[in-house]
């Protein structure tokens, strides 16, 4: 929010699986932005192509992965950049249902991968439908085993 990114602006996330990845995705959502998950296991060329197609305005990464992102992309490096001084503990910008929640890519099996923007309304519809269909409740747990770059991971 301090960087002045507009609502639902894409923010790339290139992190290994772990707490920092989950916190980053949630923080992006709370800031009313859209996350673009990038899989560290992908080749550099594929990462560069995805970044070029989605045109994120910022990336969140770590020093060990930063060099895999285009040099022109501003990066919030979790190893070097902490929260801004005086940052609120719970920054939040409401996201209307029509704004983008995240961007995923098609597999590219029919040619080049294509970005797909998923709105908050579509994501809420997914959660409502799956929760009802599977009769999920607060006592249920779901393991996170998909890549964050795979569409199903949003549900996990």
The 10s digit of each residue's pLDDT in 8-60 is 899 999 999 888 998 899 889 888 899 999 999 999 998 999 999 999 999 99
The verdict on pTM exceeding 0.85 is no
More confident residue, 126 or 71: 71
Q: In what order do the strands lie in the sheet with 115-119?
A: 75-77, 58-61, 10-14, 34-38, 100-105, 115-119
Q: 33's torsion region: left (phi>0), alpha (psi -120 to 50) or beta?
A: beta
| Alpha-carbon torsion angle 93, 96, 102, 107, nearest 10 | -170
The 10s digit of each residue's pLDDT in 82-130 is 766 666 666 677 778 888 989 988 877 777 888 889 888 887 787 777 7
Look at residue 79 and tell me whether its pLDDT is greater than 60: yes
Highest mean pLDDT among 67-76, 103-112, 121-130, 136-145: 67-76
More confident residue, 106 or 61: 61
| pLDDT for position 146 | 57
């Amino acid at each position: 929010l301090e960087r002045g990114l507009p609502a639902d602006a894409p923010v790339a996330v290139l992190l290994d699986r772990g707490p920092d990845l989950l916190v980053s995705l949630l923080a992006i959502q709370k800031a009313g932005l859209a996350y673009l998950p990038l899989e560290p296991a992908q080749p550099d060329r594929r990462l560069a192509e995805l970044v070029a197609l989605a045109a994120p305005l910022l990336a969140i990464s770590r020093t060990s992965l930063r060099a895999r992102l285009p040099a022109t992309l501003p990066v919030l490096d979790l190893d070097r950049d902490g929260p801004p001084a005086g940052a609120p503990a719970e920054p939040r910008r409401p996201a209307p249902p029509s704004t983008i929640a995240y961007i995923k890519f098609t597999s590219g099996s029919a040619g080049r991968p294509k970005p797909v923007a998923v709105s908050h309304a579509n994501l809420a519809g997914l959660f409502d439908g799956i929760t009802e269909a599977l009769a999920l409740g607060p006592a249920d747990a779901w393991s996170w085993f998909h890549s964050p770059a795979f569409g199903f991971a949003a549900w996990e």
